[in-house]
A and B are shown apart, each in its own frame.
Chain A
Amino acid sequence: MVLRIEGLKTYFHTYEGTVQALESIDLEVRTGETVGLVGETGCGKSVTALSVLRLIPSPPGTIEAGRVFLDEPDEVRALRKEYDALALDRLRRRDAQAGASSLPIMEALKPEIEALRSRLTSAKSEEEKLDIERRLQAATSEFDLLQKPVEDIRRIRGNKISMIFQEPMTALNPVFTIGNQIAETLMLHRKPDLCRGVLKALELQMKAREKKVRGNRLTALQARDSFLGDRNPDKFSDEERGIYGRLLSLKDDETVCSACWSLAPGLWDCCPSCGARLSFDLWAPFRGRIMSTEKKLYERMLRDPYDQFVDFIGAVRVLRRLVRSRLQDEGVRWAVDMLREVRIAEPERIAGQYPFELSGGMRQRSMIAMMMACNPELLIADEPTTALDVTVEAQILKLMKELQAKTNMAILLITHDLGIVAEVCDKVGVMYAGHIAEFGTTEQVFHRMMHPYTNGLMQSIPRFKGESAQARKRDLYIIRGSVPNLLHPPSGCRFHPRCPRALDVCKTTMPALQEMEPGHLVACHNPVPAGGTIP
């Protein structure tokens, strides 16, 4: 279980009135699953995603009620259900309209929480402690994203949950290179890992310094010759072959350190990879001191990524280099690996380019690289391929599937293209005017749909695969009327004014999601028999 949305309700308070964008959304995304969210423009697909990440612009938007649980263990969930029932019962006694949000529930459970806290301090065995902790987590809705402070949410965004936006050009920052933008994400969320890499490199450099290793700065052309010498490349060891291959892939005029055969660009007076002195080093007497200071700082950073002293150093302009430059370099190096992972050709070059220099597909790939950099548990893809061509779309979807198979992350795919959903998703939620109308496996929703809206939607799309020639040129089914204005949504079921199967009850009461068959939820008073069509 990764994400569970319960009764999410988001409103936008505008001058014209309250736009009831989301009205009690329930959704579940499990590890390794791809869940599609389809619906027409303005049905609340994107608002759902933004609400989960707490990115709703406020004002005018507010999340009125609901809870979003991330990574809630099953045991805690079972306990929470008990506590919720208790709390809701108490709340309803006070106010019949009480909504299921975490804050009022926690308030209602105050005595229990205090009792648990006092029991925790006096707990003796480990087991008892664990049990009480779980109960405490359940009672305080520990895993609810909507009640967490903003700092905690920031650590989740881009880290545990990342999001791919529709238009890669507007989602990427035009004034930073691709490599820097990916490095930024890593520096925010993966500081310890980067620190480890930096420290390893520092150690190497310090050792080289102790041994007084000197190297020469060679062009790649010279480096190839001198590395080869008069040896036969066929008899190289694996390591040597790797180095030689890397040298061959470089452009002729790039600078290489002769001590470690890696790139040594720029004006550094020592090799950035191995620390060998490459030329006259003005800073040599201080280099050791600077490096040991850097090492101390990075160790400190490794111990606590949010260390106050390191932050202070980072805030002072002249000292900033001590805590940033190596981290940034390491981040960019990591970014290049990520770009290679999403199969961008020449990742080193692309990492140094700006978004406008790339084509649409490349931009979306680098966006995916950025989002995958932190190994998210959940990837929210908001219309990831809408701005792309079909052949590129196929590439991107294939890439997302491959990355999912590798990391076992969950994907919440928001789209209006039923074709993509059918192709990629395991489960589908069909949204209409701020509601989930139908939810089930792709097979259930596409072949045994029960909600009249889903049915109409499926009939209104032209198809060509697996379709007979007679169906061509025939009139498509049309759902009569148009999407309601959510300032004044229809009473009862929001679909009833357009529904050919509407009953009287539809005009007054909103249908709840009911399980029609295992895993197939439908919100309708008068569902279409599974697989049937409506006139």
Chain B
Amino acid sequence: MSADPAAPGAPPTQDVLLAAEDVKMHFPLRGGLLRTVKGHVMAVDGVSLKLHRGETLAVVGESGCGKSTLARLLLRLLDPSAGKVFFMGHDLASEKLRVIRDERKHLQMVFQDPMSSLNPRMTVKNIIAEPLIVHQRSETRPLIVAILAGLVALVAAISVTLAVLILLVAGVAAYLGVLIFGPILFALYLAAFSGMLVWFALGLWRLEGWAWWGVAILAGVNLVLSVSLVPNLIQIGESVFLLAYLFVVRRHFVTGEEVTHRVLDLLELVGLKKEHLNRFPHEFSGGQRQRINVARALALNPDVIILDEPTSALDVSVQAQILNLLMSLQTKLGLTYLFITHDLSVVYHIADRVAVMYAGKIVEVGDTEDIFREPLHPYTKALISAAPSADPSVKIERIILEGEVPSPTRPPSGCRFHPRCWLAFEPCRAIEPKLFDAGNERQVACFATARDLGLESLGGPEASAKKAPT
């Protein structure tokens, strides 16, 4: 294990972008008449990992080991039972969703089944534009609240002013003999003003086309009325504010045209064509559907994309296309990937670092090259030797594990791998091993490995100070 900085696996920079600390997800199992909690499914049980900027970290493991749950926890699609997820200076695991809204924008996900993760009733354009529109709405929500509050205050102020003015005007009008025209003009004014409020509230979401013109016309009518009927500064100021909003503030909104442009750019980026814009997901092949998924994930310029088995449902030749696309996007846009998969050859091809999960825990983390050349944890060894190789001349002594992945409701005591492990000895059955440093950015949770490496303290935190012999 030589630490070569120029090795292809070494991430370009070492700053940590996303860090999970001891994340746990225990789903309660309810049963009985009163639906009391009878136990827990320990899907993810104390996972810590760091994601460096620009790298690809692969999470591998068998089905049911908690890979996908981990992904959902990192994105806060699930609320973790315990632990912290640090991303851009916030703890995604515990802070309110409203607080971390902007941060989550930079974390995106591509799901396994390309068909079921696309809404069959939406066109490609709407699918890819949806994150743009949703996040634009959430960005402008404080602005909307401020504007509406301002308007309410205005209405209150205006109504008081009006009450005084109307009395005045009515008196003057009656005196002038135009008693009839006063109320009519006032009613017209009220209708225009309340209509404008409604138009404004409705149209603000997507101020384009008719909605924009509606607000503009009403603001104009308001201005004319406020000037002509009873000239007062408040009303004039309000109309001017509205018109200014329409022409100035609105520029910060994404318009229909802009959305289309962005969607077209994204389509080009993932290798789809302009004519695909208004098609529905069922008109595409599996590979193209996965491209749409990637485009949607890219829509908000994320830093991190979590890829949950993105090629498992695809044929080999299509898989090659998607892997090439992902690799080129990474170099082009400087993306960071968390790549969840069970296919080891894909991991070897695309990942800089690998984290191996077993029964809700990470058992080994390290540089891809190191792990594949010299796996330390017995489970990693078995996994790598069990993967079939597409070369009949490569004959490898295969380690075939007995038994199956343990049930996450009642995991074995001590090391979760010990019932299937051929190296297990006493401490494995009793104590749960922690990840210890095996040198060269390598961490392993195994007593037998620690013993073989000559580390006396069995995986405790104090073991991390020592270096493993190469």
Report A's interface with B, CB cutoff 8 A. Answer: 40-41, 359-362, 389-395, 397-398, 416-424, 442-443, 446-447, 456-458, 460-467, 469-473, 475-479, 482-483
Interface status of B144 (Cβ within 8 A of chain A): no
Known: A40-B315, A419-B390. A389 touches B63 (CB 8 A): yes
Whether B316 lies near A419 (C-beta < 8 A) is no
Asked whether B187 is an interface residue with its Cβ less than 8 Å from the other chain, the reply is no
Q: Are A416 and B316 in contact (CB under 8 A)?
A: yes
Smallest Cβ distance from B265 to chain A, in angstroms? Answer: 22
Question: Would A463 and B321 count as touching, CB distance under 8 A?
Answer: no
**A253 vs B316: C-alpha distance when bound (angstroms):** 54
Give the docked Cα–Cα distance between A483 and B317 (Å). Answer: 10
From residue B116, how far is it (CB to closest CB) to chain A in Å?
17
Contact with A along B364-407 (1 / 0, CB 8 A): 00001100100000000011001111111110101011101100
Q: How far is the CA of A479 from the CA of B390 in the complex (A)?
A: 18
B372–A473 touching, CB < 8 Å: no
Known: A40-B317, A475-B324, A476-B323. A395 touches B387 (CB 8 A): no
Closest approach, in angstroms, between the C-beta of A467 and any C-beta of chain B?
7
A179 to chain B, nearest CB (A): 21
Closest chain A residue, CB of each to CB of B398? A394
Asked if B350 is at the interface of the complex by the 8 Å CB criterion, the answer is yes
Contact of B404 among A359, A469, A476, A477 (CB under 8 A): A359
Query: For chain B residues 306-324, which have a beta carbon within 8 Å of chain A?
Result: 315-321, 323-324
Q: What CA separation (Å) do A461 and B350 show in the bound complex?
A: 12
**Cβ–Cβ contact A472 & B349, under 8 A:** yes
Is B345 an interface position by the 8 A CB rule? yes
25 contacts between A and B (CB under 8 A): A40-B318, A41-B286, A41-B315, A389-B63, A392-B404, A393-B388, A394-B400, A418-B316, A419-B387, A422-B391, A423-B389, A446-B391, A457-B316, A460-B316, A460-B319, A464-B349, A464-B387, A466-B389, A469-B8, A469-B369, A472-B349, A473-B8, A473-B349, A476-B323, A482-B287
Contact B404 A466 (CB under 8 A): no
Alpha-carbon distance between A464 and B344 when the two chains are bound, in angstroms: 8
Q: Which of A360, A394, A465 has the most chain B CB within a 10 Å cutoff?
A: A465
Q: At the interface, yes or no: B103 with Cβ under 8 Å from chain A?
A: no
Are the CB atoms of A447 and B342 closer together than 8 Å? Answer: no
Measured in the bound complex, the distance between the Cα atoms of B359 and A379 in whole Å is 34
CA distance A477 to B316 in the complex (A): 11
Are B349 and A391 neighbours in the complex by a CB distance under 8 Å? Answer: no
Any A CB within 8 A of the CB of B41: no
By a CB distance below 8 angstroms, the chain B residues around A40 are: 315-318
Q: Say how far B159's CB is from chain A's closest CB, in angstroms.
A: 66
**Alpha-carbon separation in the docked complex, A393 to B62 (Å):** 11
Taking CB as reference atom, which chain B residue is nearest A469? B369
Whether the Cβ atoms of B390 and A446 lie closer than 8 Å is yes
Q: Give 11 new A-B contacts, CB below 8 A, not counting A461-B320, A472-B350, A472-B368.
A: A389-B63, A392-B62, A418-B316, A418-B390, A419-B388, A422-B389, A462-B349, A476-B324, A476-B349, A482-B287, A483-B315
Interface residue B346 (Cβ < 8 Å from any Cβ of A): yes
A395-B401, A458-B390 known; A389-B323 Cβ under 8 A: no
